[in-house]
Amino acid sequence: MSTGHDDRPGSGDRKGYQFTFNDNNEIIEVFEIKDGVRELKPIDDDGTETYEVNEDGIVRTDEELGIGKEITVYADADGDGTYFRVSEQWAFDTPEENPSRFEGRLVYSPTDDDDHVGVRGGEDCYGGKGADDFVIREAAHLRIGDFKSSEDNFIIFDTNLGLTSVTQLAGFVTEVQQDGQDFIVYFGDDVSITLVGVQPDQISWDDVSVLS
């Protein structure tokens, strides 16, 4: 079944990253790898984007003036030179001014615990065996590979786009579609959420929360 959303991505692998180091073990180049294609991602030269190598792997700090810092950790688990996102977390300059934003640690690899899982465009997102929260922070075509309401999974919108309630969010829905085994919700042509292997009676607005 197709309704004209031909740019909606199918199942995708996680994005990988490769780094070029200078003689002082400082990162001078960053490459993103998606579907086997290696693309240079320029590092901001104004001092707001920095990289540090430590025992956790590679830590990227992206400072957004007046808001705070987004801290992302990358690791190379098998030592083949390709890193993957492990986690990210916001550190706000003034937390009291951001009471609705989620400030906890988001992970990108499934575990058996109750996790807060980051959902990113262009790649499938998976939780684990616990009661996982899938946290959405970007307006893109998104895929959640193992959402299970019966296991107390939850979808949290933390987009900083001015959303205030589930009712308001529902007002932006333009289409709901069952595509084979997948349940898809569209918010216009450029934004969608695909719940892989989910039937309409296995998801409701009670499984959704809006923070921002």
Q: pLDDT tens digit string along 126-154?
A: 888 889 999 998 899 999 999 998 888 99
Q: Please tell me the distance from the alpha carbon of residue 21 to that of residue 72, in angstroms, as a whole number.
A: 18
pLDDT of residue 197: 94
60 and 136 fall within a common domain: no
Q: Please tell me the distance from the alpha carbon of residue 189 to that of residue 198, in angstroms, as a whole number.
A: 21
pLDDT of residue 128: 81
Single out the residue in 76, 97, 118 at which a domain terminates.
Answer: 97
- Whether 8 shows a pLDDT value over 50: the answer reads no
Q: Please tell me the distance from the alpha carbon of residue 120 to that of residue 209, in angstroms, as a whole number.
A: 18
Residue 190 lies in a domain: yes
Q: pLDDT grade, residue 161 (50/70/90)?
A: confident
Rounded percentage of the chain residues whose pLDDT exceeds 90: 51
134 and 93 fall within a common domain: no
- Whether 194 shows a pLDDT value over 50: the answer reads yes
Among 57-61, 119-123, 207-211, the minimum mean pLDDT is found in: 119-123
43 and 80 fall within a common domain: yes
CB 88 within 8 A of CB 106: yes
Single out the residue in 41, 65, 97 at which a domain terminates.
Answer: 97
Q: What is the value of pTM for the model shown?
A: 0.75
70 and 119 fall within a common domain: no
Residue 2 lies in a domain: no
> How confident is the model over 75-95, as pLDDT tens digits?
998 899 999 988 988 887 775
Q: Please tell me the distance from the alpha carbon of residue 189 to that of residue 93, in angstroms, as a whole number.
A: 35
- Whose structure tokens read 């197709």? 2
57 and 121 fall within a common domain: no
Task: Pick 140 or 96 by higher pLDDT.
Answer: 140
Q: Please tell me the distance from the alpha carbon of residue 52 to that of residue 59, in angstroms, as a whole number.
A: 5
- Whose structure tokens read 């809006």? 210
Q: Domain of 110?
A: 106-210
69 and 133 fall within a common domain: no
pLDDT of residue 212: 85
Residue 117 lies in a domain: yes
Single out the residue in 75, 97, 119 at which a domain terminates.
Answer: 97
Domain count, the chain: 2
